[in-house]
Structures are given as structure tokens and as C-alpha cells.
Amino acid sequence: MSVAAQTWSRSNLREFAWTTDRILAAEIEHTFSHSPALMIFANQRLGEFGGTALAGRGRRPGTTGHAVVKRVTLNAHAGAARMAGAYGEHNVAPDSNTRLAEGTWNFYSHGLALAQHELDINSGDVAVANFLESQVRSVLRALADLFADDIYSTSSPATAITSLDSLVSAGDTVHNLSGLTYTRYNARGVSAVGTAPASVSFASGSFAAQGLSDMRTCWSNASEGMIQPDAILTDVPTVDRYEGVLQPQERFAGAVAVADGSFRALAFKGTPVIGDRKCTAGYMYMLSLGGDEGVALHTVPNADFTFDEWKSSSTQRVMVRPLFLTAEMMIGNRQYGCNKLTGITD
């Protein structure tokens, strides 16, 4: 007697895995396009239309270790000196101005669950593929949506990644480095450069009255030579507020394509101003992405929006394929390249 086509055989498990892996690769492009932050920090490939400005710019895949460790330079190495002629002595002391920021791994998961009954009533290769596609899309979007919420969270749970609000701050402790102890490890907000960490203010207010002025101050305080923000992320109403104060010719000249080509953004000092519906109302982040100083999402190779193997239930006609993400957001020296505004209103 021939074996029925729909079984939990090893052959079919391989087939399901092969199918879901290829569906996931395509769905990531479309799912991440719903949030600019997801496209910037979590995008894994160049996309169907080739490489574009900010896709994956803030992503650092392939990190391993018990934690994410980043060397943060908090001051210039004191060993630089002029030599007293060709036979002068050079410095051999180690750099004493670098400290280690240590971020703990955070774990996200969802499960792609399939019941034998669902496969029974979706018989045929095309029907099964379409069914799997819809399930992969639902699982991926749910996980990506949760992750995007955590990127912008202003009250993150202990099990979430470190949010932008926590990374771009002052007078607090992030990744075991205290802004009060290390006064050069603080974003500068809109306060005068050199303000004590506990007194740094990020507060803005009415955009009509002070929005552009605060943006200029925020940008200037984030800039250090050629280290400048690569992207400005804010809520959609603030993008509208910004566009409303520009002259028509400025809107036209300042429009730039970013992310995967599906986002268009105005520019401020040549940097895209991108509206994200996930962004907390009234917040604006000016971010340097990746590199030694910027914000970057670190992920491990086998848990980077990656499916595990299929697992079958011993008590149900069901099997599950878990989707995992293990990640942490890190930042270099917070005073360089990154800053934020809060409390923006009309």
C-alpha cells in the first residue's frame, strides 16, 4: 500500500523546511518595510531592488560571546607627545582611557505551528505553499512588530533590547558604564556643551515656536568633526510639522530616498528625516549608525530571525518550527554622533 502524501515523514519535514526558509527570505523584505527602524537595524540583505541608502546600516551580525562587549574611548590617549629629536623616547604606556561596555543578550521567539488537519485540507503543492506563506508572514510580522516596539520603548522590560531612549541619554548607566562617573559618556541634548550630566536636557516643546532651533542645537551637539548623524527618526506628526515650516522649494530640494526605496524622507542638513509610526510621540532621534561611535544592533548567527528545526508533538497532530532572534543594541561614545529631542508638540 502506498504511503499517503501528507505525513510527518523526514522527507516532508525537509520539504517544509526548504519551503519556509525561502518564504522567510522574501517576507523579511516586505515585513521590515513597515518600520524604518526595522529596515535600518534588522534588515539582513540588500533587497529586491539592490542596495539603498540606509538598509541594514545599523546592523552588526555574527557577534558571539557570553555578552556583547564594546570598547568605548572616553578620552584621548594621554601618551601623545612631541619627541626631543630623532633619539627622543616614545610613550609605551597602555591606553588608560578606554572602558568596556557590556550588553547582555536578549531573546525573542515565535512559533510557526502547523496541524496535520490544516495540511490535509490544503492538499497539493501550491495550496501547501500558499498556506505556509501566510503562516510565515503572520509569525514574522508579530515578532518584528514586538521588536520594533522595543526599539523605541521608553519603559523597556528587563528582557528587551536596550532601547534608543536608553542608549541616547545622559546621567544614567548603560551597559555598565555610568554617565555620572564618566562625564564624557553622555549625549549632550540641547544643553550647552560641558553641562553636568545630571543637568543635561533633551526637552523641546512647540515645533512652531522652537522646533527648527532645537533641531539645529541637537544636531550641533551630536556632531564632532566628521562624526555626524546618518539618520533622523521621529514620529509621523513631527515629520509633518517639519515639512510645514519649509518653503516649497526646500521640500523639493530636500527630499531623499532612504531605507529600501519604499520610504521617502525630507532632509535636515543633508540627513534624511524619517517618520516611523512606531516612534514614541514627540520624540526625535538623531543617530550615527554602526561604526565605532554609532548605534548598532548585534545579533548571533543562528538566531537572527532564523527558524529552528521542526518539532513534532507527541500528543497532538501538530508540529512547530520556532523562529528566534538573539540580539542587543549597543552604542559607542554617546556624545558623538547621536542625540535626541523629547516633548515635541505642535
| Per-residue pLDDT tens over the stretch 78-118 | 777 888 888 888 887 777 788 889 999 999 999 888 777 77
Range in 26-35, 133-142, 155-164 with the lowest mean pLDDT = 26-35
Domain identity same for 222 and 281: yes
pLDDT over threshold 80, residue 65: yes
pLDDT over threshold 80, residue 229: yes
Residue 84 lies in a domain: no
pLDDT of residue 256: 66
Residue 213 lies in a domain: yes
Domain identity same for 203 and 336: yes
At 121 the three-state DSSP class reads coil
Domain identity same for 188 and 281: yes
Length of the chain: 346
| Per-residue pLDDT tens over the stretch 242-273 | 999 887 656 555 666 665 545 667 889 989 99
pLDDT of residue 266: 85
Residue 221 lies in a domain: yes
Domain identity same for 185 and 285: yes
User: The domain containing residue 147 runs over which residues?
Assistant: 10-73+99-157+297-330
At 241 the three-state DSSP class reads helix
Task: Name the strand (E) or helix (H) holding 286.
Answer: strand 284-287
The pLDDT confidence band at residue 48, using thresholds 50, 70 and 90, is very low
Residue 79 lies in a domain: no
Domain identity same for 144 and 223: no
Read off the CATH number of the domain in which 152 is found: 3.30.2400
Domain identity same for 51 and 152: yes
What residues contact 226, with CB distance under 8 A and at least 6 apart? none
Domain identity same for 238 and 133: no
Domain identity same for 123 and 182: no
Give the residue among 196, 198, 202, 234 at the shortest CA–CA distance from 221: 202
Domain identity same for 278 and 301: no
pLDDT, mean over the chain: 84
Range in 21-35, 44-58, 191-205 with the lowest mean pLDDT = 44-58
Long-range contacts of 127-133 (CB under 8 A, 24+ apart): 128/19, 129/19, 129/23, 132/16, 132/19, 132/20, 132/23, 133/23, 133/27
Domain identity same for 224 and 260: yes
Range in 187-191, 255-259, 332-336 with the lowest mean pLDDT = 255-259
Q: What is the mean pLDDT of residues 260-289?
A: 87
Domain identity same for 337 and 198: yes
- Distance between CA atoms of residues 187 and 293, nearest Å: 12
pLDDT of residue 81: 80
pLDDT of residue 343: 98
Q: What is the largest CA-CA distance in the chain?
A: 94
The pLDDT confidence band at residue 25, using thresholds 50, 70 and 90, is low
pLDDT of residue 50: 40
Residue 93 lies in a domain: no
Q: What is the mean pLDDT of residues 28-48?
A: 74
Highest mean pLDDT among 186-200, 290-304, 310-324: 186-200
Domain identity same for 182 and 236: yes
Residue 162 lies in a domain: no
Rounded to two decimals, the pTM is 0.84
pLDDT of residue 7: 45
Strands 263-268 and 177-178: unpaired
Q: What is the mean pLDDT of residues 134-163?
A: 92
pLDDT over threshold 90, residue 188: yes
Total count of domains within the chain: 2
The pLDDT confidence band at residue 192, using thresholds 50, 70 and 90, is very high
pLDDT of residue 99: 86
**Under a CB-based contact definition with an 8 Å cutoff, are residues 344 and 245 in contact?**
no
